[in-house]
Every structure is written in C-alpha cells, then in structure tokens.
Amino acid sequence: MLQAPDSYPIDRPPLKSTLSMPYTLTPGRAAGVFLAETKNRRLVGSRCGSSGLVCVPAQDFCPSSGGADMELVAAPHTGAITGFTQTRAGIIATIRIDGADFDFVHRIVGAEFAALKVGMRVEAVWAQTPTQSIMDIEGFRPAPDAPVGTIEPLGEAAEPLPMKPYHMDLHYEHAFGPFYGRMFDEIGTNRRLMGVRSTHIDGALLPPREVDDISYTKTGTWVTVPDTGTVRAMSVIHLEFKGQKEPPPYIYAEIQLDGAVTRLIHSIKGIDMSRASELVKPGTRVRAVWSDARTGSLSDISHFQPIPDDVEPTST
Amino acid sequence: MSRHVGIVGVGQTHHSRRRTDVSQAGLVREAVDRALADAKLTIDEIDSIVVATGPVLFGAVNMPEKWVIDACGGRMKPVVRITSGGGTGLAGALAAYYQIAGGQHERVLVVAYDKLSEGALQYSISTLYDPFWGREFAVGIMGFSAAYWRARMDILGHTEEAAAMVSVKNHTNALKNPYAHVKKAITVDDVMKSRPLAWPIKLLDVPPISDGAAAIVLSSEKMAAKSTDRPAWILGIGYFCEADNAAARSMLVSEPLALAARRIYRAAGITNPRRQFDVVEVQEPYTCFELSYYESLGLCAPGEAAALIASGATQIDGDIPVNPSGGCMGANPIGAAGLVRLIEAAAQVMGKAGEHQIPNAKLALAQSGGGWANLRGVAVVSA
C-alpha cells in the first residue's frame, strides 16, 4: 500500500473570485406596464378574469387561479401593513394595497419601529427622480387618516417597459483544501507542478485529488511533473466576450504534461499568430513560460510556447 | 417492471433572438398552453410538473421554478426543477418519465426554457469550469469544443468541409420549421468563409442564441387515450456522465453518449441504428458535434462521419435523416433545446411534424447533452 499523500496543512487563504454579470431583463406585459407607469406616479395592478382577484403590483398570472386573462387596473396609493420586520436596510413590511387580494414587500419610511402595528394604514411616498423600478416608490409611510382607496380602470397606459438593465456582482471565497493547496503552493513557491498517482494509473493526475475518478481508490504519492508537454487539442480564439481575461487572438490549448495522464488548459503564445493553426497542432511540443508573479495559481505560468524539433518522451 | 410511458402532447414557442414582450414566466406559459392544448388536457388533469432550465446565471433568477409556478400551473402540485446545462431538457423529460414509469403519477408536464438574450452567455457558461483549474482560460464551451474537434480532425477526418455540410443541411431544414428563427439559405462556401470565432469553429458552425420554451405531456398507458390515439411511446431514455478530469479522457468519442446509446438501444431492441431508425434529432451545439454523434450513436463507424454527411444519407430525404427540424441551427434556447429535440422526434412518430415530416416515420432517436461534453443522453420513441 502506498502511503497517504503528504498533504501537510498549508495555510492558504481562500481563492477570492468575483463574477460580475450584466443582464437585460424583460419584465413582460404586466410588470412592464407597472414599471413604465411609476414615472407618472401611478400604481398598476392586475385583476384576474377567472378568479376576480387583484394583484398590486400587476402580475401576468394570477397567484390564485394561475389564470392569464389579466385586466390591468389603477390601484390606490394607500393600504395597510400586514407584517413587518427591522433589517439593517431599514424596516421592511408586507403591504396590502386597498382593494388588492395579495401582499407585496416594500420599505416603511418616516416611522419608528416601535410605533408600527399590523393593520396600520400607510400611503406611498414617491421618489423625486424616477428610475423605472419598484424603488420609484421610496417607501410607505403611516397615514392613519388616509381614506380607503378603490381599484379603478386603468384607462390609457404607457407601453410596457421592454427591457431593464440589471447587474449582479457575486463574490466567492473558494477553499483550496489540502490537495489543491499543496499543488498551488508548489507552483507559487517552488515553481513546481505536482500531481498524485494512484495504484491503478501509471502517471500523474492533475489537478491532484484524494480519490482516483476511475478506480475509486485513494490516490498515493505526490509526483513532480516537468513543465513540458504535448498539445492534445487546440483552438484559435478570435471571439471576444464579457469576462475574457486576455484580448484575442490567442490559442486555447489542452496540454498533456509529460508524465501526466490528464490535460491542463492554458494558452500558447510566442508564435506568429497569423499562422497559428499550422504552427500549433495536436502533437506540438510545448514548454511553460513562467511569469514573474508568484500568486500560486495557474496564471503563474504566463503561457506555453512551442519547443522546436522536440519529441515526446516515449516512457513516463 | 416499469410502466409504459408515452408522449401525448407537445408544444414550443416561436423561438427568437430576443423576446421583449414576455418575461421568462410568460415564455413558460406559452409553451405550457400549447402542450396542454395539443394533449387535449387542462392543467387540472396534470399530476406533477418538472421545470427544466439552464444555469441560473443565464437569467439572473435563482430557483426560477418558484417564479414560474403561476405560469406553469404548479400551484398545489408536486414541482421539481431539473438542470443539466445543455442536456437540461432531456434530463427533465427523464425525471418525468421516472415518475410515471415508477407508478407515482399518471400525467406529468415538463416545461423547459431559457431566455438567453438576458445575460452574458459565454461568461455564464465559463463558470462551469473549476475556479482553480481552467476557468481563467475558458471560452464558454466553444474553446474546448473547437479544440476537441481539432483533435478529431487528424484522426477521424472530421474536416471543416464536412462540418460545413452539416451547417448547410441544418440551415436548409430549418427553413421548413415554423418555430425556427434563423431562416437562411447558405452554402458550404459561405460556412468556410465565415468569420472564425474559435477556429476551426466559424460563425456559421455556431447556432443562434435564442429565447424559447418547450413543453411536453407524458402519460401512462392507461390515461393516454384521452389525449391521442397515437402517442410517441418512449422505448428507452437515459442520461450518462463521465468525470471531468479523469485519466485519458477521450476527445475522439463521447464515451457517455456511446454508453447511453448502447444501453438504451438494448432496452429498445435496436441492433442496427442506421437501418432501424426512421429519423434522428441531435442537439448540436456546434456543427462538429453532429459529426461526432454520428459515430457515438452508431449511425456509422468511427472515422466515417465525413463520408456519411457527404453521401447525403442524413439529409431530409436520405435513408437516415438527422435534424429534419434544422436542429439547433434554427433555434437554440439552451435549456429547452434538449426537450425540443425530443419533441421533434415525438412529432415525427406521431405524424405531426408538418412540412419536415419524414413519411411513415415510426421509430425515432433523440440525443441531448450538457456540461463540458461529459453529460450525454438519448431517448428512443416509437409510434
């Protein structure tokens, strides 16, 4: 039996990663008209033809019957609190607009938490500058004397807002774990590429892992692999896209490092890119070109570069 | 012994590059309404619902099945969401199939959709890579797909010209498909001269990015007659996987697809796929995959895909038509694309494929897959 891998604890901080995703969302008819009408300080709801129930803000499908025959209506700006809570972002409440049959969530403004009660009358406070969002209503404030409003026909209404820009920044902290930790520590500290072997496989698995995927047995010793290898597959990237790390053209390559039984994804440079598809092909021998940075990641290898007239070692 | 399951109603939206008149929920509703109408059923007669969508990063709404419950009629019914990248639609159908085959439900509705106009597609897809290992170099699935094709080119002869013929065939077939939104007659020369995106993949090797939804109603044998006297019986359906970074992972043949085909063919009594199938629908994220699938699905031997497309056998009037609907080249709402393939295969054996109907089609094969080409499935449907 091989010993368990020498995965001594490595105090690596987690890998921080941010996905910064842009969107253009389509609200659809009901929510689209709602968003188009907030600049006119109108609250648009919808009444279901089969259930007769009213949603505010307007919805395309009835939450009770699932019906789609929704008539858009003008809702009053007053209602009552049906539930509330204090959050770091202020007081959030479920609000039932007068004449509506379903609640929606919004912010309470101009009120102390302690003074709030379920059933309390409120009215909408409109934002100064409309942004075509639900925040065109700044919030709802207590209005004990506000008369109970009624649902009215909408009359003429704006066209639905077709698209709304939206953005999400998602922040992650990925734990390395002992296997990735050791590998990336070796890359950053010793400029050394390391994988693991299992009793069933005659070569290194990269990235290293605790269990071999094919035999389901524990992997064994760590092995160092050289920073040379053979291109197994390649593509010349011309496409530009959001989130891309380097400007095209560049070569996307799957490289089998000498002594490894898995492939590594990286880029190939240092060639005349106008002849990329003839200069780099499956079988081309390449060597890593290390960058000056020592971040302990795959980008510590700047890129791979062809080794002229080299041949693949016959045994691993 | 599992029970027989049939497809008794199908529906899809008229797919488009961007729908600004409906939300994601509205898209779902259109497909559901069409499938229910086709099955002559109301939502009250559906026991259970499967919602299938691609990665949530495509549409910015996490747990989207919650958002579309009112749109798909899921209120007070069993609802689950299934997701498996490009194979989502077929995986959703598989989940529904199990519910009926296992005796849990009589009728299950599957709705699959993606509204790809709303997000950053290649960026979203790149997040399917390990954040430590490969993501910084990922080009959606296009980078590796092109690289694998390059590897197959030398060994299996999957040339750029052969792939261009796939593009021409599927574009031509899409002209007859009322639900396709890319309707463009092109030539092999057009494909060869189109702009390289991830060489050898060029612009006309790539399907469009689409907004679209698809829905099917699956039924037990007992309840099928109310909807149709000609269901598309599912003779076998399966979905297989291989490891991401296993030793010596093959780029030449899709092992999970070959395995799925072998297992499901055995269940369905298929011994000679090229001769037995009347029609095949494959989900081709790029033209090069259709060539590879010919081989993995056993329509020809490894290394013969280029000759197969060149022979005309997979044309709409050939002996083994592949993608008479136009495949993904006509429309590609990723989360729905696998279900659209199943719908097209079912419509063929139900005799209602319209202008692209293969005369007398009785036995059809649908293929779909997702991930880093490592999740692959097939379904065999019969009249």
User: Is residue B203 less than 8 Å (CB to CB) from chain A?
Assistant: no
A102-117 residue pLDDT tens: 999 999 999 999 999 9
8 Å CB contact between B349 and B289: no
- The SS3 of residue A85 is strand
8 Å CB contact between B43 and B73: yes
**pLDDT at A250 (0 to 100):** 94
Closest partner residue to A60 (CB to CB) among B23, B122, B143 is B23
Residue B229 covered by a domain: no
Closest partner residue to B22 (CB to CB) among A28, A241, A242 is A28
Q: Which of A86-90, A176-180, B243-247, B365-369 has the highest mean pLDDT?
A: B365-369
**pLDDT at A314 (0 to 100):** 75
Q: Is the pLDDT of residue A5 over 80?
A: no
Pair B294, B161 in one domain: yes
**pLDDT at A311 (0 to 100):** 85
Q: Is the pLDDT of residue B258 over 90?
A: yes
**pLDDT at B209 (0 to 100):** 96
> Which residues in chain B are contacts of A233 at CB distance < 8 A?
144, 147-148, 150-151, 251
B169-218 residue pLDDT tens: 999 999 999 999 999 999 999 999 999 999 999 999 999 999 999 999 99
- Amino acid at position A64, single letter: S
Task: Kindly determine whether residue A234 and residue B147, on different chains, have CB atoms separated by under 8 Å.
Answer: yes
8 Å CB contact between A224 and A241: no
Closest partner residue to A66 (CB to CB) among B70, B195, B200 is B70
Of A122-126, A177-181, B149-153, B273-277, the poorest mean pLDDT is in A177-181
8 Å CB contact between A241 and B122: yes
Task: Kindly determine whether residue A61 and residue B21, on different chains, have CB atoms separated by under 8 Å.
Answer: no
Paired residues of A30 in beta bridges: none
Task: Kindly determine whether residue B200 and residue A163, on different chains, have CB atoms separated by under 8 Å.
Answer: no
Pair B24, B146 in one domain: no
User: Is residue B62 less than 8 Å (CB to CB) from chain A?
Assistant: no
Pair B371, B326 in one domain: yes
Q: Which of B199, B224, B249 is the last residue of a domain?
A: B224
Residue B283 covered by a domain: yes
Task: Kindly determine whether residue A265 and residue B120, on different chains, have CB atoms separated by under 8 Å.
Answer: no
Q: What are phi and psi of A255, to 5 degrees?
A: -115, 130
> Which residues in chain B are contacts of A60 at CB distance < 8 A?
22-23, 25-26, 29, 71
Cα gap B314→A63, rounded to integer Å: 47
User: Is residue B116 less than 8 Å (CB to CB) from chain A?
Assistant: no
Closest partner residue to B118 (CB to CB) among A23, A264, A277 is A23
A43-58 residue pLDDT tens: 999 999 999 999 999 9
**pLDDT at A6 (0 to 100):** 59
Residue B262 covered by a domain: yes
Task: Kindly determine whether residue A266 and residue B197, on different chains, have CB atoms separated by under 8 Å.
Answer: no
Pair B145, B10 in one domain: no
CA B179 to chain centroid: 14
Pair B95, B186 in one domain: no
Q: Give the B window 64-83 contacts with A, CB below 8 Å.
A: 70-71, 73, 75
Q: How many CB pairs under 8 A join A and B?
A: 196
Residue B129 covered by a domain: no
Q: Which residues contact A209 (CB under 8 A, 6 or more apart)?
A: A179, A196, A219, B245
Pick from A263, A265, A268 the residue to mutate for testing the B interface (most B CBs within 10 Å). A265
Cα gap B161→B174, rounded to integer Å: 20
Q: Is the pLDDT of residue A2 over 60?
A: no
Q: Is the pLDDT of residue A87 over 80?
A: yes
pLDDT confidence band for B231 (50 / 70 / 90): very high
**DSSP strands (E only) in chain A:** 15-25, 43-48, 54-55, 70-75, 78-87, 90-97, 104-108, 121-126, 137-142, 152-153, 164-174, 193-198, 201-205, 222-225, 228-237, 250-257, 264-268, 285-290, 301-306
Task: Kindly determine whether residue B123 and residue A243, on different chains, have CB atoms separated by under 8 Å.
Answer: yes
Cα gap B218→B225, rounded to integer Å: 12
Q: Is the pLDDT of residue B244 over 90?
A: no
- Amino acid at position A129, single letter: T
Q: Which of A115, A62, A49, A38 is nearest to A84 (CA)?
A: A115
**pLDDT at A303 (0 to 100):** 95
Task: Kindly determine whether residue A213 and residue B115, on different chains, have CB atoms separated by under 8 Å.
Answer: no
Pair B269, B239 in one domain: yes
Pair B72, B200 in one domain: no
Closest partner residue to B133 (CB to CB) among A66, A207, A236 is A207
Q: What are phi and psi of B269, to 5 degrees?
A: 75, 30
Cα gap B201→B163, rounded to integer Å: 9
Q: Which residue of A has its CA nearest to B72?
A: A66
Q: Which of B189, B224, B259 is the last residue of a domain?
A: B224
Closest partner residue to A235 (CB to CB) among B73, B132, B147 is B147
Pair B110, B163 in one domain: no
- CA of B107: how far to CAs of A93, A267, B74, B293, B378, in Å? 40, 50, 13, 32, 21
Pair B99, B242 in one domain: no
Pair B110, B170 in one domain: no
Cα gap B348→B279, rounded to integer Å: 8
Which domain CATH number covers B270? 3.40.47.10
Of A85-89, A190-194, A242-246, the poorest mean pLDDT is in A242-246
Cα gap A107→B274, rounded to integer Å: 64
Closest partner residue to A267 (CB to CB) among B129, B132, B137 is B137
Q: Which residue of A has its CA nearest to B126?
A: A243
**DSSP strands (E only) in chain B:** 5-12, 48-53, 79-82, 107-115, 196-199, 201-202, 211-220, 232-241, 279-281, 363-370, 375-382
Q: What are phi and psi of B188, to 5 degrees?
A: -55, -40
Task: Kindly determine whether residue A298 and residue B133, on different chains, have CB atoms separated by under 8 Å.
Answer: yes
Percent of chain B, pLDDT > 90?
Answer: 92
B68-78 residue pLDDT tens: 999 999 999 99
Provide the residue range defining the domain that includes B111. 5-121+210-224
Residue B130 covered by a domain: no
Residue B131 covered by a domain: no
Looking at the structure of chain B, the number of domains it has is 2
**pLDDT at A1 (0 to 100):** 42
Q: Which of B224, B256, B274 is the last residue of a domain?
A: B224
> Which residues in chain B are contacts of A26 at CB distance < 8 A?
19-24, 115, 117-118
Q: Is the pLDDT of residue A283 over 80?
A: yes
Task: Kindly determine whether residue B120 and residue A243, on different chains, have CB atoms separated by under 8 Å.
Answer: yes
Q: Whats the size of chain A, residue-wise?
A: 316
User: Is residue B272 less than 8 Å (CB to CB) from chain A?
Assistant: no
Pair B354, B245 in one domain: yes
Residue B127 covered by a domain: no
Helices (DSSP H) in chain A: which residue ranges? 28-37, 177-190, 276-279
> Which residues in chain A are contacts of B131 at CB distance < 8 A?
15, 17, 172, 174
A172-231 residue pLDDT tens: 999 998 899 999 999 999 999 999 998 888 899 999 999 988 888 888 789 999 999 999
Indicate the pairing of strand B79-82 with strand B48-53: parallel
Q: Which of A146, A122, A123, A125 is nearest to A135 (CA)?
A: A125
What's the average model confidence in pLDDT over B150-171? 98
Cα gap B163→B191, rounded to integer Å: 9
Give A30 to chain B, closest Cα distance, Å. Answer: 9
User: The complex's ipTM?
Assistant: 0.92
8 Å CB contact between A14 and A182: no
Residue B230 covered by a domain: no
Residue A67 DSSP symbol = -
Paired residues of B12 in beta bridges: B214
Give B263 to chain A, closest Cα distance, Å. Answer: 20
Pair B9, B69 in one domain: yes
